[in-house]
Amino acid sequence: MVSTVSAATYRPEHLDRWNTKDPAFGSTNNYAGADMSAFYVAPVGRNRDNEKEPRTACNWQTVTAEIEAVSQHDETEAHCFGHWACGWYELFLIHENDIEALKVADKWAESLADYPIANEDLLSELEIEDQCTTYANCGIRQQWHERVCVAVFDRLEMDYDVETAEEMAADITEREGAEEIMDQAFWESSCDEWYDCGDGQWCRVDDVSTVLAVSMLLFPVDPDQQTLPIA
């Protein structure tokens, strides 16, 4: 890559210079690193605590990729800084002479100020990935399976005595393939129940209807059948 050495001729309207905007606390009073005053700060950043949050990841990936695509300066790149509070934070800094990169970043700063999502399609993909990780690793799957088991028993108790209902419920929910059925029912039933909790995607298991899960367990259908009976 060729570094641009001529004086900058573009003055961004929506970007801050590094020395006037440290996104950790808005000041460089406690900073002891290299002088970055020749750089502007791209309108995206991330740190140890939010780098995997879907919106943060979406905006970072989208904006930095577009800036890099037009950059003509060796020093226009991401910079990572250690920090006592958040461990580290990362900025994408654009050299003051990197005209085209500054123009792209400036447009993104204006756009994100009006609407804070850089790429709706990418955000949806990242949210789904985050939901899958949360479901598998944060206790939601176990809570859901337990809730479905109770719901199956409750449904059977309407037609059988308690002992019989308990035996039948155990047979149904512990048979081969039952866990996969419960997982499938969760994803089909929880679409509207996921929300952004600030650190990523979360879902309250109690808000997810068990009707489909109970139906799929009590009334198995051919996998190719599109319409499932609901109890």
Residue 1 vs residues 38, 67, 69, 70, 98: alpha-carbon distances, Å = 19, 14, 11, 11, 12
Please indicate, yes or no, if residue 200 is contained in any of the structural domains.
yes
pLDDT of res. 32: 66
Q: What is the DSSP letter of 17?
A: E
Decide which of 58, 85, 118 is a domain's last residue.
Answer: 118
Decide which of 96, 118, 140 is a domain's last residue.
Answer: 118
The residues pairing with 202 across neighbouring beta strands, listed in sequence order, are 195
**5 falls in which pLDDT band (50, 70, 90)?**
very low
- Do 42 and 132 belong together in one domain? no
**231 falls in which pLDDT band (50, 70, 90)?**
very low
CA pair distance 102, 16, nearest whole angstrom: 11
Question: Crossing angle, helix 54-70 and helix 99-114, to 10 degrees?
Answer: 150
Split into its structural domains, the chain has a count of 2
Three-state DSSP class for residue 221 = coil
Please indicate, yes or no, if residue 2 is contained in any of the structural domains.
no
- Do 103 and 189 belong together in one domain? no
Please indicate, yes or no, if residue 225 is contained in any of the structural domains.
no
From 53-57, 122-126, 168-172, 196-200, the region with the lowest mean pLDDT = 196-200
Please indicate, yes or no, if residue 9 is contained in any of the structural domains.
no
- Do 75 and 43 belong together in one domain? yes
From 42-51, 69-78, 85-94, 160-169, the region with the lowest mean pLDDT = 85-94
State which residues form the domain around 23: 16-118
Q: What is the mean pLDDT of residues 46-56?
A: 88
228, pLDDT greater than 60: no
Please indicate, yes or no, if residue 102 is contained in any of the structural domains.
yes
Strand 87-95 relative to strand 201-203, pairing: unpaired
- Do 73 and 127 belong together in one domain? no
Please indicate, yes or no, if residue 6 is contained in any of the structural domains.
no
- Do 106 and 169 belong together in one domain? no
Decide which of 89, 118, 147 is a domain's last residue.
Answer: 118
Please indicate, yes or no, if residue 161 is contained in any of the structural domains.
yes
How does pLDDT run across 129-156, given as a tens digit for each residue? 999 999 999 999 999 999 999 999 999 9
- pLDDT above 90 covers a percentage of the chain that reads 70
